[in-house]
Amino acid sequence: MSQQITGQMPMEETSVKPVKLQQIGEGQGQGQNMFEGNLSLIRDVKVKLEAVVGQTEVTVGELFDLKNQSVLQLNVATNAPIDVRLDGKVIARGHLVVVGDNFGVCIEEILPVNE
Amino acid sequence: MYRFRLYGASEREVLAKRLDQCLQNWSREWLGGVAKLSSSLATVDHFQPDDKVKWRGMSHHGATLAYSLSGEFSKRLALETGWCDSAVARKASSIWDETIWDCIDALARQILCPMAGESELSSASAATDLNDDSVWLMHGAGYVWYSIKLDQEWLAFILSPQVIDALLVSSSPTKTGALSSRLRAVSNGICKLELIAGVAEVSIGELHTLSPGHIIQLDKVIGQPFKLYTAEGREVSDGYLAACGNNKAVQLAK
């Protein structure tokens, strides 16, 4: 008989057996997609957006020569919008603003999502 | 200004040893990943076969080691002078993409001879020693072309006076020599950086309704520096957004 770890002793002897899983093959499923387009399922899922001001390229030598207060010019004009990026892809552009005590981005353009 | 100088036998012996040391160090450090060199440098077992000559550059004592990797001529290496930068090497490789020998020869004719005021390498004021294993061609301008035969392959070096001085002076590599030479070798590599103003966590529902005029609040508080990252996502430094001319710029803070 298997040892019970509950404090209570069983009233009568109970049979305990291992669970056997049914073997099934891999498959794509059948019929229509179950969740297609159902945004409500994932609407609370959080994603992280990045506000990218601009880029620059430096050589490794230049990188190693950088000091405190060194200035790197970025590849964007002062009035250029900044990119809002999701998972490495730019999804929107906007301008940097102040929102209370924080920085923020005021969206100006939503970019089409390329498949 | 280039010095007229010829090198004595003892200096040549020292140079040959130094070159061998340097070449072995370089080979182990830099080519080790793509080639297996024996201690005698006699064999290079494996390179990716490729019909086109590929050039790589690396520096040591102000000189650039350029080596070509190709299917047919995979064992040939050349050490070129520092003023032959990678762009020149690339240009040379596009013109003479058959063998690195051709490149060396062309470089010698194009660069060394004019420096010495000579039209032909063979008629330049130089002394040549030739035996079965090595060729020394000491150019009047202070440059040395040194070729050594290893196995069935020749390794050719064109050395500037600065390189020669450095090789003659340095009797042994310093402890940091390997690291610093490694850093120098990648010093021309391009590093892409990007300045991130901040991040915001939003739900997919919010994202779905995002439209012009919406404001996304970032995590960055006013007065805090932005973050500078490499394109690979590694944080490099803090920095403050500024303007430099007509462009945005970042002033590093840490």
Task: For residue range A61-83, list pLDDT tens digits in order.
Answer: 888 888 888 899 999 998 999 99
pLDDT, one tens digit per residue, over B69-125 is 333 333 333 333 333 334 444 443 333 233 334 434 444 454 444 444 444 443 233
Top pLDDT among A53 and B181 is at: A53
pLDDT higher than 50, residue B47 = no
Q: Provide the Cα torsion B207, B210, B215, B217; round to 10°.
A: 0
pLDDT for position B96 = 29
Q: Where are the alpha helices (DSSP H) in chain A?
A: 60-65
| From A45, A58, A108, residue closest to B212, measured CB to CB | A108
Which of B192, B194, B202 would you mutate first to test chain A, the one with the most A CBs within 10 A?
B194
Top pLDDT among B223 and B120 is at: B223
Q: Which of A64-78, B51-65, B127-141 has the highest mean pLDDT?
A: A64-78
Q: Which helix (H) or strand (E) holds B135?
A: strand B134-138
* B226 interfaces chain A, CB cutoff of 8 Å: yes
pLDDT higher than 80, residue A46 = yes
Cα separations in angstroms, B192 against A75, A76, B21, B220: 11, 14, 35, 23
What is the distance in angstroms between the Cα of B36 and the nearest Cα belonging to chain A?
27
Q: What mean pLDDT comes out for the span B173-198?
A: 68
ipTM, two decimals, is 0.77
pLDDT for position B191 = 87
Q: What mean pLDDT comes out for the span B50-57?
A: 34
| Interchain CB distance below 8 Å, A99 and B215 | yes
Q: b or e along B12-39 (b: 16 or more beta carbons within 10 Å of the residue's beta carbon)?
A: bebbbebbeebbeebbeebbeeebebee
Confidence of residue B13 (pLDDT cuts 50, 70, 90): low
* A103 interfaces chain B, CB cutoff of 8 Å: yes
Confidence of residue A38 (pLDDT cuts 50, 70, 90): confident
- Beta carbons of A52 and B196 less than 8 angstroms apart: yes
* B23 interfaces chain A, CB cutoff of 8 Å: no
pLDDT, one tens digit per residue, over B16-25 is 666 566 555 5
Phi, psi of B93 (to 5 degrees): -70, -30
Structure tokens at B205: 């529902």
Q: What mean pLDDT comes out for the span B6-31?
A: 56
| From A39, A55, A107, residue closest to B194, measured CB to CB | A55
pLDDT higher than 90, residue A56 = yes
Q: What mean pLDDT comes out for the span B248-253?
A: 89
Q: What mean pLDDT comes out for the span A81-100?
A: 92
* B179 interfaces chain A, CB cutoff of 8 Å: no
Q: What mean pLDDT comes out for the span B219-228?
A: 90
Top pLDDT among B208 and A29 is at: B208
Q: Which chain B residues touch A50 with a CB distance below 8 Å? A: 196, 198-199
What is the distance in angstroms between the Cα of B185 and the nearest Cα belonging to chain A?
9
Confidence of residue A33 (pLDDT cuts 50, 70, 90): confident
Q: What is the mean pLDDT of chain B?
A: 56
Count of CB atoms situated within 10 Å of the CB of B42: 12
Which of B58, B182, B186, B193 would you mutate first to test chain A, the one with the most A CBs within 10 A?
B193
- Beta carbons of A81 and A108 less than 8 angstroms apart: yes
| From B194, B210, B244, residue closest to A52, measured CB to CB | B194
